[in-house]
Amino acid sequence: MNSTVCCRHTALPVSVARLRPLRRSLVPTAGTAAAVRGPSAAARLAAQLRELKQFKVWDAPAGAATDRPSPAARGGSTPALARLPTDGSTAPRPGAGGGRRPGIVWFRGDLRLHDHEALTRAQAECSSLVPVYCFDPRDYGRSPQGYDKTGPYRATFMIEAVADLRTALRAAGSELVVRVGRPEEVLSQLLRRTGAGAVYCHSEVTYEEARVEAAVKAAAEGAGAALKAFWSGTLCHLDDLPFKLAQLPQNFDKFRERAEGAAVRAALPAPSELRGLPLGGRVDAGEVPTLQQLGLSPLPAGCSAAATAGGKGGRAGKGGGGGAAARGSSALDGSTRGGEREALRQLRRFVAQVSGAAGGGGGACGAAHGSNFASSIAPWLATGCLSPRRMLADVQAALGQGGAAPAGAASAAAQPPLTWVRFELLWRDFFRFMTLKYSSLTAGQMGTGASKAAAAPAAAAPALVAA
């Protein structure tokens, strides 16, 4: 078969077989003519290679894991890791989805995965996650009055809760970074190391906690990041109250009357899978400290942390006849521990008692009062291992009343146990809101001892991120 090669002035018939060597020789033989008209193809290629050398190549350090996590990592044995720059740069990695950056989730009084808005938002907005818990030395020192701020029993309960949270995060494909140090210093270092763009947390209510949050916000802004704080820890959301915080009633009865119409938001589910640590940040997870490392003496032999976790209800009375053991609580049987897993186990036990009393036609107080609400549930509510919204939802489901109901809705005659659970949870809300209202007092107003603390801006109501 013949073909025709058309030149500028002539047209010559050439066979296809003879075209192939001619085509291979076009590039080298055209060099002379191209040199007159401009740079050759080889020269243009060399120029492009020189330009490519100006681009920064993001790479992992030697011996680092690959970009694609193994199936075992996604199953929970090893955290799934994301690639990050290794030179300390805070710029987002080229090619990252939407230019998203890593995010730090600062766990405080919310040691759980379920109903955790800060964690949920960070998972949705960030390229990778750095969950962090700090054992703040200021929480384990002595108060101005000379007593321990945290005793050995509560400290053991917290250590167990943090260890349980780490286990849950690892099962979801992430990790918990544990440090002993001031949060504003620890988080500032992690922000610069990982290039994170924000710190996600839940706001707390006391004066000292608000000061720490303000210090973390200043440290985050100094590192070019933002602090995104959310509300948690109460049955009624702060934004759903029918009045401003400044108009909070001074007694519980009036608060309950005005809060009865407030709807309870649905509890968020625990995520089944989470983003892992950033690879290039080289973040060391750290170890959960012991009592001795926190400056406390070890517990006496044979004592459980949960023996006093429930406050005054956790100790046996004289002669061994009082306390939690006499009331049927498991606080002294060695099986009660800090952590979300134990909190959900206690909640199932509590719900069974509540539903049993409802089926048997309990009195006005119902089973919630008979099972000593404070000692059986309060330790896990106080440390954030259990969400009050999750608690109410489980009780509602057990009693056949689903959906988000007003805080004071059920009839006492129809649902005495559920009414009592709401009543107890609203008590918690009242004290938390009252503490938040008055946490803006200055150090001088709080007393001589507090005024000796390091100077810091007066705490104010937290600036929360809109839900």
The pLDDT-based confidence of 364 (bands split at 50, 70, 90) is: very low
Count of domains forming the chain: 2
* Rg, the chain, Cα only: 31
- The enclosing H or E element of 340 equals helix 340-359
252 and 339 housed in the same domain: no
Give tens-digit pLDDT for 322-350. 333 333 333 434 457 999 999 999 999 88
| Mean pLDDT score across all residues of the chain | 74
Exposed e or buried b for every residue in 293-317, given b needs 16+ CB within 10 A?
ebebeebeeeebbbbbbbeebbbee
Rounded Cα gap, residues 134 and 107, in angstroms:
8
Last residue of a domain, one of 221, 237, 259: 259
Give tens-digit pLDDT for 300-327. 876 655 444 433 333 333 333 333 333 3
CATH number at residue 374: 1.25.40
221 and 357 housed in the same domain: no
Question: What are the phi and psi torsion angles at 79 (to 5°)?
Answer: -60, 140
Residue 87 falls inside a structural domain? yes
Residue 253 falls inside a structural domain? yes
Rounded Cα gap, residues 231 and 245, in angstroms:
14
Residue 187 falls inside a structural domain? yes
225 and 124 housed in the same domain: yes
Q: Does 58 carry a binding-site annotation?
A: no
Report CA-CA distances (Å) from 73 to 54, 69, 385: 35, 6, 25
The pLDDT, as a whole number, for residue 105 is 98
* Domain range enclosing 416: 327-438
Rounded (5°) CA angle 44-45-50 = 95
Percent of the chain with pLDDT over 90: 47
This model's pTM is above 0.85? no
Rounded Cα gap, residues 29 and 46, in angstroms:
19
Q: Is the pLDDT of residue 298 over 50?
A: yes
Which DSSP category does 355 fall into? H
Residues 6+ apart with CB under 8 A from 332: 304, 306, 307, 314, 316, 323, 324, 325
Q: Are 156 and 305 contacting, i.e. CB atoms less than 8 angstroms apart? A: yes
Residue 404 falls inside a structural domain? yes
The pLDDT, as a whole number, for residue 369 is 54
Which residue, among 341, 377, 346, has the nearest Cα to 111 in the 3D structure? 341
Q: Does 45 carry a binding-site annotation?
A: no
Which DSSP category does 371 fall into? T
Q: Does 425 carry a binding-site annotation?
A: yes
Residue 265 falls inside a structural domain? no
Q: Does 429 carry a binding-site annotation?
A: yes
Residue 125 falls inside a structural domain? yes
Last residue of a domain, one of 259, 289, 305: 259
Which residue, among 221, 257, 220, 222, has the nearest Cα to 241 in the 3D structure? 257
Give tens-digit pLDDT for 158-212. 999 999 999 999 999 999 999 999 999 999 999 999 999 999 999 999 999 999 9
Question: What are the phi and psi torsion angles at 197 (to 5°)?
Answer: -95, -10
Tokens of 205: 């209510």
Cα dihedral 306/308/311/313 (nearest 10) = 90
255 and 334 housed in the same domain: no
Residue 95 falls inside a structural domain? yes
The pLDDT-based confidence of 466 (bands split at 50, 70, 90) is: low
CATH number at residue 123: 3.40.50.620
Report CA-CA distances (Å) from 6 to 14, 24, 29, 33, 118: 10, 17, 18, 18, 70
Which residue, among 461, 462, 418, 459, has the nearest Cα to 235 in the 3D structure? 418
Q: Does 157 carry a binding-site annotation?
A: no
User: Tokens 């002669």 — which residue?
Assistant: 319
The pLDDT, as a whole number, for residue 318 is 34
Q: Are 350 and 377 contacting, i.e. CB atoms less than 8 angstroms apart? A: yes
Q: How many CB atoms lie within 10 A of CB 252?
A: 16
Q: Are 147 and 279 contacting, i.e. CB atoms less than 8 angstroms apart? A: no
DSSP-assigned states of every residue in 386-435: S-HHHHHHHHHHHTT--S--BTT-S-TTT-HHHHHHHHHHHHHHHHHHHH
The pLDDT, as a whole number, for residue 374 is 58
Give tens-digit pLDDT for 209-263. 999 999 999 999 999 999 999 999 999 999 999 999 999 999 999 999 999 888 9
84 and 204 housed in the same domain: yes
127 and 216 housed in the same domain: yes
Q: Are 338 and 166 contacting, i.e. CB atoms less than 8 angstroms apart? A: no
240 and 382 housed in the same domain: no
Residue 270 falls inside a structural domain? no
Report CA-CA distances (Å) from 213 to 15, 205, 237, 467: 82, 10, 19, 19
The pLDDT, as a whole number, for residue 125 is 96
95 and 240 housed in the same domain: yes
254 and 341 housed in the same domain: no
